[in-house]
Structures are given as C-alpha cells and as structure tokens.
C-alpha cells in the first residue's frame, strides 16, 4: 500500500459517551484512511464542552477498546483558539466578514428574496448603514460575525453520494459569545492537521458546500468527502442514550463489533480483518435501524 501525505480523522464532541452509531462511523473513518494509505487522527471538538474531559477520556478509551489506533496524540479544539482568531482576522482584513445582530427569531421572521434557498440567512445585516449598525450595537446584543459570501450554492464530490450541490449563505464564523462556529473551526483544524479525507455521518453532508467554499477562500485544498449513513432507532430518529443500551459499556466490545460488522456486510469483527474486506462501493447507502436490547 502506498502511503499518502494526507490523513483521515474522527472528530467526536465530548457531549456524551459514544454510542454504537458513533463507533460505527469511527470504524468507517479508520477503514477509509487505512485503505488509502493515510494517517488516522483524532480530534476532540470541545469548543462547547471544555469541562467534559472525563467524557473525552471515556470516548478515547472506547475507541481503543474496539481496536482503533491513531498516528498522533489527539488534538483538542480548545487548545487552538488562536487558529480561528487568526483566520477571522484574515477574512476581516479582506472585507469578507460583517457583524450580525439577528436572533434566531429575527431570522425566522425575516422576509426572504424570491427563490432564496430554504434555510439560508436572508443577509439582514449585510449592508447596514453606519447609523443602523450603531443603533444595533447600542442595544447591547453581542454580534455574531458572518462570512460575506459571493455565491448562493457550491458543489462538492462525495464518494458515496456523488456530486452534491448545497446552500452557501452568509454563515456564522464567530458566534456572539466569541466562540468560533463549527463551520469555521472544522475547516481550519482539518487544514492545520493535514487532513484531506473527511468521513462522517451523512447528516453533515449539507454542511460540506459551506465548508469547502470557505476552504477555497482560504486557499485550502478541498478534502475527499465520504458521508456515511447514520444509525437510527426504530422510530427513524437519530440514535441516542435514551434508546436504551447503546454505549460500549452497555453492549460489550465483542457484541458491539459483531453488530457493526454485520451492519456493514463484513465477516471479520476486528478492524484489521474488516480492512482486508473493505470496499467502499459495497457499503450500505441506507441507515442502519438499530434496536438495542432493553435492560
């Protein structure tokens, strides 16, 4: 196998213990990386969960328990705030940002231009006069910082979904509380870590055009995307702890890996054996409906 210079990654948020759906995505991210000769990296996306170090520790232990290994020490987003501030400063110096004083309610109630994409920010604050901006500042609401986009949509190529075109609006780069927004942080971190392959749940497919577009503005190469099907409960909703025994501590390592392997069509139940059988073209395209055993 020829080793590439790039890397794949798994990037959990430490908001809760990993459930079997998260573990399945982690296994797939590892398989995609290893099958293409890439390094495999771990990043804990803890900008909103800095106090959850115990949860992050358990997540890393669970990933180790199912046989995954990574090539560098895990990164933690909160340790790299300077990265995001530097990029925001660069974009602002290029005239590509503006302050936004809109609440969620304001955005929902704002009139939209004809044919405006569903869910797109209506650019309410994009061209405020100095007087109007001063009035909003006087209201005391800390502004978010948005990207001044010059397009309404952007296309990416996904290994499982093919060409995907999605909305690119004036999305938030820095929230009103000063924290970097997800769409900024993930792009900056991937570039800083040399990650050129992004494997994650297909609920994030719609975010890819925004992120790829931002990357092009910053001169970053567009990564290879593979958005894999989610694991859902019997009601067709995203799997969660409330659905019963869904974490590794509940299920047990052997059972969890056997179930993950079966859901992906593998006979092997360990990462090394799965790698020998791995073929992206044969992966399921539909969600896995998981029914945990009730305790």
Q: Sign of dihedral through CA atoms 239, 241, 244, 248?
A: positive
Query: What is residue 51's predicted lDDT score, i.e. its pLDDT?
Result: 58
Q: Kindly list the distances between the CA atom of residue 118 and the CA atoms of 12, 45, 169, 209, in Å, as whole numbers in the listed order.
A: 28, 28, 10, 15
| Ligand-binding site membership of 13 (annotated) | yes
pLDDT tens per residue across span 23-66: 999 999 999 999 999 999 999 999 986 656 899 999 999 999 99
| Ligand-binding site membership of 84 (annotated) | no
pLDDT tens per residue across span 230-254: 999 999 998 877 777 799 999 999 9
Query: What is residue 103's predicted lDDT score, i.e. its pLDDT?
Result: 86
How would residue 294 be classed by pLDDT, with cut points 50, 70 and 90?
low
Domain with CATH 3.40.50.620 in the chain: 1-73+229-295, 80-227
How would residue 1 be classed by pLDDT, with cut points 50, 70 and 90?
very low
Backbone angles phi, psi at 263, to 5 degrees: -65, -25
| Ligand-binding site membership of 125 (annotated) | yes
Cβ partners under 8 Å of residue 39, min gap 6? 6, 7, 8, 33, 71, 72, 194
| Alpha-carbon torsion, ordered 82, 88, 93, 95, to 10 deg | 180
| Ligand-binding site membership of 11 (annotated) | yes
pLDDT tens per residue across span 169-188: 999 999 999 999 999 999 99
Domain spanning 1-73+229-295: which CATH class is it, in words? alpha beta
| Ligand-binding site membership of 237 (annotated) | no
Query: What is residue 242's predicted lDDT score, i.e. its pLDDT?
Result: 76
Answer yes or no: is pLDDT of 207 > 90: yes
Query: What is residue 184's predicted lDDT score, i.e. its pLDDT?
Result: 98
Give the separation between CA 208 and CA 165, rounded to whole angstroms.
9
Q: Kindly list the distances between the CA atom of residue 81 and the CA atoms of 30, 68, 142, 206, 236, in Å, as whole numbers in the listed order.
A: 27, 28, 19, 25, 37
| Ligand-binding site membership of 208 (annotated) | no
Question: What letter would DSSP give residue 280?
Answer: G
Percent of the chain with pLDDT over 70: 94
pLDDT tens per residue across span 134-147: 898 888 889 999 99
Q: Look-up: residue for tokens 């927004």?
A: 181
Domain spanning 80-227: which CATH class is it, in words? alpha beta
What does the mean pLDDT of the chain come to? 92
| Ligand-binding site membership of 121 (annotated) | yes
How would residue 18 be classed by pLDDT, with cut points 50, 70 and 90?
very high
pLDDT tens per residue across span 107-117: 877 776 656 66
């Amino acid at each position: 196998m020829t080793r590439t210079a790039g890397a794949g990654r798994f990037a959990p948020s430490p908001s809760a213990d990993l459930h079997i759906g998260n573990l399945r995505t982690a296994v797939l991210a590892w398989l995609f990386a290893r099958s293409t000769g890439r390094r495999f990296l771990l990043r804990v996306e803890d900008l909103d969960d800095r106090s959850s170090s115990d949860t992050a520790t358990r997540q890393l232990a669970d990933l180790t328990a199912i046989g995954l290994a990574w090539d560098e020490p895990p990164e933690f987003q909160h340790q790299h705030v300077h990265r995001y501030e530097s990029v925001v400063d660069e974009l602002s110096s290029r005239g590509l940002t503006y302050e936004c004083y809109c609440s969620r309610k304001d955005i929902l109630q704002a009139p939209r231009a004809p044919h405006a994409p569903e869910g797109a920010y209506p650019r309410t604050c994009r061209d405020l006069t100095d007087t109007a901006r001063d009035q909003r500042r006087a209201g005391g609401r800390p502004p978010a910082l948005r990207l001044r986009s010059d397009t309404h949509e952007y296309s990416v190529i996904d290994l499982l979904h093919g060409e995907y075109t999605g909305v690119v609006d004036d999305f938030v780069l820095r929230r009103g509380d000063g924290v970097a927004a997800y769409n900024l942080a993930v792009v900056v971190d991937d570039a800083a870590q040399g990650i050129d392959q992004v494997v994650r749940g297909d609920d994030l497919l719609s975010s890819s055009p925004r992120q790829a577009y931002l990357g092009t503005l910053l001169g970053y190469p567009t990564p290879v995307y593979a958005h894999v099907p989610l694991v859902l409960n019997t009601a067709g909703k995203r799997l969660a702890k409330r659905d019963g025994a869904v974490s590794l501590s509940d299920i047990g390592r052997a059972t969890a890996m056997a179930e993950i392997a079966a859901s992906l069509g593998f006979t092997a139940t360990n990462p090394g054996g799965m790698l020998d059988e791995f073929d992206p073209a044969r992966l399921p395209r539909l969600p896995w409906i998981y029914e945990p055993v009730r305790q």
